Structure 1
Amino acid sequence: MSEGGLLGVAIGARRVCLTRQGDAVTALDDRCPHAEFSLSAGELLADGSVECAWHGARFDRATGAVLQGPACDPVPVYDVLLLDGDVHVRLDP
């Protein structure tokens, strides 16, 4: 995954959007709660937020909080562990 990029991956039946800024990798649900569009098709902005390509909703990549509508609900985020160059995502708490 490139610096400042988004990558959609399938983990079982779930789609996850990975983000990378510098050495920090985060994972959030790859589904905008506003209209079910893939967040990985959007953009990781310079401020660290993820913008949905369809209607422009923006989310904090670390917390999933809504930063800009039209979405009203946050995006679920998942724990990430970087181990020997691999990204491990824990889907369940």
Structure 2
Amino acid sequence: MRRRLTRKEFLTEGCSACLCLAAGGLLLHGCAAVPAVDVERTRPPGAPKSFVAKEEEVNPAFYFVKSGIKGVLVRTEKGIVGYENKCSHQGSPSALKDGALVCLWHGSAFDPATGKAIGGPAKEPLRALKLDFKDGLVLLAEAPKRAGGAP
């Protein structure tokens, strides 16, 4: 025979379930990925193999995957810059938010113009991507390096 819940038990169980759902939602939000374009599949006919994006697609940011590198291009006041989209703290992807590249896991913030850490637990800069530009295309020139030149 089933036992009936008391009002107190019902409220306690109900509140516990709601808290678990809310906590799970917060955790999953931190795992949300920014959609990235597989540039190997979207390269226009005749574009160089180093193609990443058309300059007009970087508005204000463009997330991509190329040859195993997850990257982000950002349009700044000085032009387009690129970084490996991997937080220097623990490797989370970042998203451009309120003028900064913000880590989705722990909230580290990076200056889009320089890649340097400006807040949160990350101390090291993002790895910079060396880019070339030709005929309105953004091209990946070489493998990622930390902002400031270190590999």
TM-score range, shorter chain: 0.7 to 0.9
Structure of higher CA gyration radius: 2
2:108 aligns with one of 57, 61, 67: 57
CA contact (8 A) 1:3 1:21 kept: no
Give identity over the alignment, percent. 23
Alignment of 1:39-58 (within 5 A): 39=94, 42-46=95-99, 49-58=100-109
CA contact (8 A) 2:76 2:112 kept: no
- For 1:70 and 1:90, the matched residues in 2 are separated by 30
Q: How far off its partner does 1:2 sit?
A: 4.8
Question: What stretches of structure 1 of length at least 5 have no aligned partner?
Answer: none
Give the RMSD, CA atoms, in angstroms.
2.2
- For 2:58 and 2:82, the matched residues in 1 are separated by 15
For residues 37-76 of structure 1, what are the alpha-carbon distances to aligned partners after superposition, in whole Å with 9 as ceiling and x for unaligned? 112xx12433xx3122332211122332111121122111
The one of the two structures with greater contact order (alpha-carbon pairs below 8 A, sep at least 6) is 1
Question: What stretches of structure 2 of length at least 5 have no aligned partner?
Answer: 1-56, 146-151
Count how many residue pairs are aligned between Structure 1 and Structure 2.
88
**Structure 1 outlier segments of 4+, above 4 Å:** none
Structure 1-normalised TM-score? 0.75
Structure 2-normalised TM-score? 0.50
Greater share of helix: 2
Q: 1:75 to 1:56 in 2, by over 3 A?
A: same
For residues 62-93 of structure 1, what are the alpha-carbon distances to aligned partners after superposition, in whole Å with 9 as ceiling and x for unaligned? 33211112112211112222211110122337
